[in-house]
Structure 1
Amino acid sequence: MNGKKIFGKDAKKMIEGYIPVTGGKIYYKKVGEGKKAPIILLHGGPGGTHVSMMNLERLSDERTVIFYDQLGSGRSDRPTDKSLWHVDRFVEELGQIREALELDQFHILGHSWGTMLAASYLLTKPEGVKSVIFSSPCLSAPQWARDQEEHRKELPQDIQDILATCENEGKTNSEEYKEAMKVFYKRFVNRMDKKPEELNSEFAKGNEVVYETMWGPSEFYTTGNLKMFDVMKRLHEIQLPALFTCGRYDEAAPKTVESHSRLIQGAEFHVFENSAHQGFLEEPEEYVRVIREFLTRVE
């Protein structure tokens, strides 16, 4: 592992570097050095990056916030071996990062695919995890697929027809399909008229190969190796303080997320009323407030 210290204008301590994991090296960044237990963030995707979650740096006034780009994305190595793209390797990767950063006691926040990773990691029964936050979770891919079918029915009929035709004809890489996808994404993923400039950077771009190998061509059409992922019958084994969150207009349907929360004893549930799937971008102040207050309660 190697890292370098950087002090920004806001005087927050930042250390960034690379950690060797199975398949290559991953980029990480630690911000802040508060006395409270650190929190590690598991970004969405698969194949996404940590960049969209940068508003959570605001938590660094009390604790260290750890960002990292999972292998294959962002500033991390991008190997081309598709056999690396499966949940067990990402669980192993998280364990390797924890060991390298000497995280004895810490919190986990996973978003979207990151909640699949978080749950899978926690079901290996690691010690020292103080709490878990499931942000816009997907903990049952079959249930997710059913929810997206319902969401698709809310789209204009011509968009529904384009999506169905392209999927039936194997044309999900077509421009027509991608344009129709944007209508779904605007309604259920991110409702902002203008997205933050940092999302346009080279290091914010996702890895489509990882995404399609594990998930599929779109959020609502699952064909990858996560298609049958489902931890519903084992969620009760996670005996930690837990918070489930989602947006009112989230593709992670509020009724489903609430039902998931009831499977972990004592878990809390919160809906961000003005968000879809990316509350940390759509309602950053409210999102950080809710996360901060939860962490304070459980410590």
Structure 2
Amino acid sequence: MKYFAVILFLSVFLTGSIPEKIKPGEGFVEVKGGRIWYKVVGKGKGVPLLLIHGGPGSRSCEGIPGYSTLGNDRSIIFYDQLGSGHSDRPTDTTLWQLPRFVDEIDALRKALDLKEINILGSSWGGTVAVEYMVTKKPKGVKSVIFAGPLISTSKWMRDAKILISQLSKPVQDSINKYESLRIYDHKSYMAATDTFNINYLSRKPGARISAPDCAGSGKGNGEIYRYMWGPTEFNATGTLKNFERTPNLREIQEPVLFITGRFDEARPETMYEFQKEIPGSKVEIIENSGHNKIRDNPEQYLAAIRNFLSTK
């Protein structure tokens, strides 16, 4: 869940020009607990796109090079959630609650005067997106894209068990042994976790994305990740351990796309389960890709996003 999520915006204007507040540039928006940083790139006249990064506790900079290529169609808006990246880094754990992260969307919409939006939430960003849709019932949302989303922790954990069972027996044994002992820093367990990540998170770990925006950016925040999620991708022990919004998906009336990698830890089979909850929704599978689709197969991934948004 450490990657990204995307929200799309359309400002209503009479002149046909882009409103001043969403011209390319960067700045800060005040939220409860501090300031969050945002950056706008691109000038296309389509509905602008806001990238909500994954995590919890990750940052947006690694996604900027890839998603910015969509800027010919629309403005792309990135931001770092409170606690990571360029944003302020308070240490108050009472701030690490899902509703407060959801409120960041409203703060950005208000600050940038964004009347109409499309939403794409990737990984943990999908958690923020689905919570926004079902709790806020926001006006002006044109469509929603869920990319490898965490919508149900129980289904996420189920998928993790299935994927672990497909690894070698020594790797399985190591994970099961140290999970039962609650020892997460043993070298054998950490090596097994790396094997899981190489298979299901990013299948091209050596193909690092050139991300100049990460220079000078604050790092991700592992404390938020552990507090809200847990020690590893497949072990939910934090505040999200009982998260469940599958039954609420049917409340979303807007057009929806579920997009995931062929080898994603958010398994394609689970995306089809979610699709059944929303009549008319679609599923797109990115080939040769794990969870980090924008690294593993950026061409197909970005084309799928562009195609879905072309009529929005």
Report the Cα offset of residue 256 of structure 1. 0.5
Contact 2:288–2:297 under 8 Å retained in 1: yes
Alignment partner of 1:191 out of 175, 191, 203: 203
> Which amino acid letter does the alignment assign opposite residue 20 of structure 1?
E
Distance, in Å, in 1 between the alignment partners of 2:109 and 2:295 is 27
* Residues 185-264 of structure 1 aligned to structure 2 (within 5 Å): 185-192=197-204, 193-198=206-211, 203=217, 205-264=219-278
Contact 1:51–1:204 under 8 Å retained in 2: no
Say yes or no: does 1:289 pair with 2:300.
no
Say yes or no: does 1:79 pair with 2:79.
no
Alignment partner of 1:112 out of 120, 123, 145: 123
Report SS of the residue matched to 2:231: coil
Contact 1:173–1:217 under 8 Å retained in 2: no
Corresponding residue pairs, total: 286
Report the Cα offset of residue 174 of structure 1. 3.8
Distance, in Å, in 2 between the alignment partners of 1:74 and 1:160 is 34
- Determine the structure 2 residue equivalent to 1:3: none
Say yes or no: does 1:90 pair with 2:101.
yes
Contact 2:257–2:281 under 8 Å retained in 1: yes
- Determine the structure 2 residue equivalent to 1:19: 29
Q: Measured at CA, do residues 25 and 173 of structure 1 come closer, stay the same or move farther in structure 2, by a change above 3 Å?
A: farther
Say yes or no: does 1:158 pair with 2:179.
no
Distance, in Å, in 1 between the alignment partners of 2:215 and 2:184 is 25
TM-score norm. by structure 1 comes to 0.91
Alignment partner of 2:132 out of 117, 121, 127: 121
Distance, in Å, in 2 between the alignment partners of 1:154 and 1:115 is 26
Distance, in Å, in 2 between the alignment partners of 1:101 and 1:178 is 43
Distance, in Å, in 2 between the alignment partners of 1:154 and 1:203 is 37
Distance, in Å, in 2 between the alignment partners of 1:204 and 1:233 is 37
Distance, in Å, in 1 between the alignment partners of 2:215 and 2:99 is 29
- Determine the structure 1 residue equivalent to 2:62: 52
TM-score norm. by structure 2 comes to 0.88
Contact 2:207–2:295 under 8 Å retained in 1: no
Contact 2:57–2:84 under 8 Å retained in 1: yes
Q: Measured at CA, do residues 231 and 31 of structure 1 come closer, stay the same or move farther in structure 2, by a change above 3 Å?
A: same
Report the Cα offset of residue 154 of structure 1. 1.3
- Determine the structure 1 residue equivalent to 2:152: 140
Distance, in Å, in 2 between the alignment partners of 1:182 and 1:276 is 14
Consecutive unaligned residues of structure 2, counting only runs of 5 or more, are 1-22
Report the Cα offset of residue 204 of structure 1. 7.1
User: What's the CA shift string for 1:235-288, capped at 9, x where partnerless?
Assistant: 010100111000000000100011101211211110001111111111112111
Report the Cα offset of residue 185 of structure 1. 0.3
Contact 1:215–1:223 under 8 Å retained in 2: yes
Say yes or no: does 1:279 pair with 2:279.
no
Report SS of the residue matched to 1:45: coil
Report SS of the residue matched to 1:217: coil
Report SS of the residue matched to 1:252: coil
Distance, in Å, in 2 between the alignment partners of 1:204 and 1:268 is 36
- Determine the structure 2 residue equivalent to 1:6: none
Say yes or no: does 1:266 pair with 2:277.
no
Report the Cα offset of residue 33 of structure 1. 2.1
Q: Measured at CA, do residues 41 and 241 of structure 1 come closer, stay the same or move farther in structure 2, by a change above 3 Å?
A: same
Report the Cα offset of residue 164 of structure 1. 2.1
> Which amino acid letter does the alignment assign opposite residue 244 of structure 1?
F
Report the Cα offset of residue 161 of structure 1. 2.0
> Which amino acid letter does the alignment assign opposite residue 257 of structure 2?
L
Distance, in Å, in 1 between the alignment partners of 2:199 and 2:87 is 31
Distance, in Å, in 2 between the alignment partners of 1:222 and 1:278 is 20
> Which amino acid letter does the alignment assign opposite residue 225 of structure 2?
Y
Report SS of the residue matched to 2:75: strand
- Determine the structure 2 residue equivalent to 1:32: 42
The alignment yields a C-alpha RMSD, in angstroms, of 1.6
Consecutive unaligned residues of structure 1, counting only runs of 5 or more, are 1-12
Contact 1:246–1:257 under 8 Å retained in 2: yes
Contact 1:38–1:105 under 8 Å retained in 2: no
Report SS of the residue matched to 2:56: coil
Report SS of the residue matched to 1:47: coil
User: What's the CA shift string for 1:185-222, capped at 9, x where partnerless?
Assistant: 00000000332243985637421100011100011011
Contact 1:42–1:108 under 8 Å retained in 2: no
